[in-house]
Amino acid sequence: LRGEQTDRIPYFENYIGEKIVEFILGYHAGNTAAAIGDPYRGDQRAIVDGGRCIPMHPKDWIKICKAIGQDVIMMETCFAPYKIIDENGNRTIVNDGRIKNRKDWEEKVIHPTDEDIDESMKYLSEYIEAAKNENIAVAFATGNMFITHYVNLNGFDFFTLIYDDMDFVNEMLTVTSDWFTKLITKAVNAGVDILFSGDDVAYKTGTMMDPVLFKKMYRRYAEKMYRPALEANVPIIFDCDGNPTEIMDMMIDLGCSAHFPVDSCGLDCLEHKKRWGDKLTLIGVLDLDPLIRLSPKDVEKYVKEVVLSMKEGGRYIAGTITAIDEIPIENIGAGLLIYLRVGEERVVVTNDRVEGEINCNTKCKIYINPDKIHDYNTQT
């Protein structure tokens, strides 16, 4: 993440859907964001007892990493868990943008608490412990400050509030960023390896709001949240899809080491690398549309072209621009196989499987025929 020499092109996916997880593992284990339900699709099954989602079991995540050649598992507490009292008198997460003004904020909202931090830390500590002897890093996805407001708490009215009542917006962002800072401090002290933080604040045409105003608003809160990681020498991945070009200089100045995902739908990826690649590791680039729509043969060709072009000069981690979810199994196999051929010369490819050492401590077989049985043989 800081431009170190690698023995291969690293590979990273932050989200893998449950059908593909089941294909890789041979049993149902949820998706890589949640053991139950899908928080990325507003699935209420992912929210247990009015609180956070239950993350995938870390041992399942580690098995997936060893199967696909990934070196990091990730747990998320992306949103500050603001709550309300529902019609049944129970506390429940606000995720429908219902808080529209100061009156709502003062009369309806229950702020995130230290108990919410402790709940997240319980799971994160299990991740850190499980990965300790596996040569696998642990990333913690958190600090999504703007999304907490423009999706969960206030909806898109948040952007109107920026112009109508900036004092109110700053009051909310102070509460949110203070809570995230406490959480990040505890995560760093517990031994997390990577802070995966940011906000989807850009469309494919540019930032969601004037970049000058955004920088003025965002910097002081991000400085506060990032400080614990920077002081502990924990690398920070800035998470923002679309085209955040106009704010990249600020994110570098804030201490970020990498940008995920480099979104081929919003960016000229080679130009993005030319401009920022000496300061940031770039992650992603593989667009979902060709991975979904092309034939396996054409997927192989596409992945090879992307990986070979982006790897020049180093500081590139291959992966999709957002998630592995709706991609046909045969295309995942084709894409992964050609990636492994480009990124890891020790892998031998046959007609229906790939055999070999995919990362430094694993030997496995991945079958792209779903009727085949998965064979994982971990080497110490």
Domains and CATH numbers, the chain: 71-256 (3.20.20.210)
Q: Decide if 58 contacts 15 (C-beta within 8 A).
A: no
Phi and psi at residue 38, in whole multiples of 5°? Answer: -135, 100
Q: Do you know the residue count of the chain? A: 380
Q: Burial level of 257, CB count in 10 A (0-12/13-18/19+)?
A: buried
Q: Are 378 and 363 a contacting pair, CB within 8 Å?
A: yes
Tell me what pLDDT residue 252 has: 98
Q: How confident is the model at residue 367, as a pLDDT?
A: 36
pLDDT of 336 reads: 65
- Nearest Cα neighbor of 342 from 351, 352, 334, 330 is 334
Give which of 11, 124, 131 is closest to 68, Cα–Cα: 11
Q: What is the longest distance spanned by two Cα atoms in the chain?
A: 64
pLDDT in tens, the chain (380 residues): 988 888 888 999 999 999 899 988 999 999 999 887 666 655 555 565 556 788 999 999 999 998 888 999 999 999 999 999 988 898 888 989 999 999 999 999 999 999 999 999 999 999 999 999 999 999 999 999 999 999 999 999 999 999 999 999 999 999 999 999 999 999 999 999 999 998 899 999 999 999 999 999 999 999 999 999 999 999 999 999 999 999 999 999 999 999 999 999 999 999 999 999 999 999 999 999 999 999 988 988 899 899 999 998 999 999 999 888 888 888 887 666 555 555 544 333 333 433 443 343 333 333 333 333 333 333 32
| pLDDT value at residue 347 | 37
